Amino acid sequence: MAPQVVVAQHEVSVSGSCDGVDSEAVIATVRTLIRQLGLDPTDDGLLETPRRIADMYAEMFAGLGQDPRDELQVQFEEGHDEMVILRDIPFHSMCEHHFLPFEGVAHVGYLPDGKIVGLSKLARAVETFARRPQVQERLTSQIADTIEEVVGAKGVGVVIEAEHLCMTARGVRKPRARMMTSAMRGAFRQNPSTRQEFMNLIAAPQFR
């Protein structure tokens, strides 16, 4: 019997904010920064900028106050033991080196070992890790390690492709350059055919 593969594309929206952000301190700091840049923080266009930035950081870093493992606790006993893939999960994150955004898509696949997890939970785990100061390499590994640990999967594959504003808008200034990272665990690392099946399916044009 040919292997069964479930492939889905998903969009997810996770609301919330980071309760640990000291909004008033951020507002005061941004106001000082505006002044040090030679601008007048009392100008109409800049008057509310410090508060807007504080609200933005609270939203962008909402994942600091959340545990992605909680999202993966909803599991179902199921006999399906072939590859499951959730593809093209959009995300936004913040580069911890420059505090500039990077955005792209994550592709997540796993081999169940008696239990499956809701597809939306995979997307929410990605989103929770992304809503933190990050580097793409760490983000990729964190997602793979957590799914392997919590779901007990026989194998996990994660591929992320993203564009980084810290490289496209400053520094080397190469717009449209995209970074790709992968993390393979269990059967995805040990079995070349399993890994190749995953890579083929996330690149398959009929799903794009």
The residues annotated as belonging to the active site are 95-98, 136, 164, 166
CB-CB neighbours of 173 under 10 Å: 9
Task: Report the C-alpha gap between 1 and 202 in whole angstroms.
Answer: 22
Q: Please enumerate in sequence order all residues whose Cβ is within 8 A of that of 127, keeping only pairs 6 or more positions apart, or say none.
A: 12, 14, 63, 89, 91
Q: Are 183 and 138 in contact (CB under 8 A)?
A: no
DSSP state of 68: H
CA distances from 7 to 60, 113, 151, 198 (A): 29, 18, 18, 10
